[in-house]
Amino acid sequence: MTDLTLLVVLAGGFGASARYLLDRFVTALFGFPVWPVGVLVVNVLGAFGAGAVSQAPEAWVAVAGTGFLGAFSTFSTVFVDAVRLYTAGHRRKGILSVAVTLAAITLAAWLGVLLAQGIAAINAGALG
């Protein structure tokens, strides 16, 4: 196992733990039956981070993007929660939760990329 692989594995453990703790915290604040807010918050933060990290050197993408953020965000849970809402009689909320998540994570990823590009441009100007 290479050092980079080991770092990805460790970052994944931290990412999964952070997702669990944040999801539980947000869900305790807002409750699940109304809306899967915890998973939405996790995925929006994960998409923003992934967008920002996508502009970093390859090793950062591997550790922070694939390792931490890959384990932190959870796209499959979006659909599980949507099915749970739908089958519990909250059909509109189930469908809407998927649509809102797709829109929110797309915007968050885009903003993360723009932030990283802006920081890179500032740094290039400062160095140039």
User: Is 54 flagged in the annotation as binding?
Assistant: no
* Distance separating alpha carbons of residues 114 and 11, to the nearest angstrom: 24
125 marked among binding-site residues: no
**Three-point CA angle 62, 17, 78, nearest 5°:** 85
Cβ-based neighbour number of residue 29 at 10 Å: 10
98 contacts 35 by C-beta, under 8 angstroms = no
Question: Which residues does the annotation place in the binding site?
Answer: 70, 73
Question: Which residues does the annotation place in the binding site for Na(+)?
Answer: 70, 73
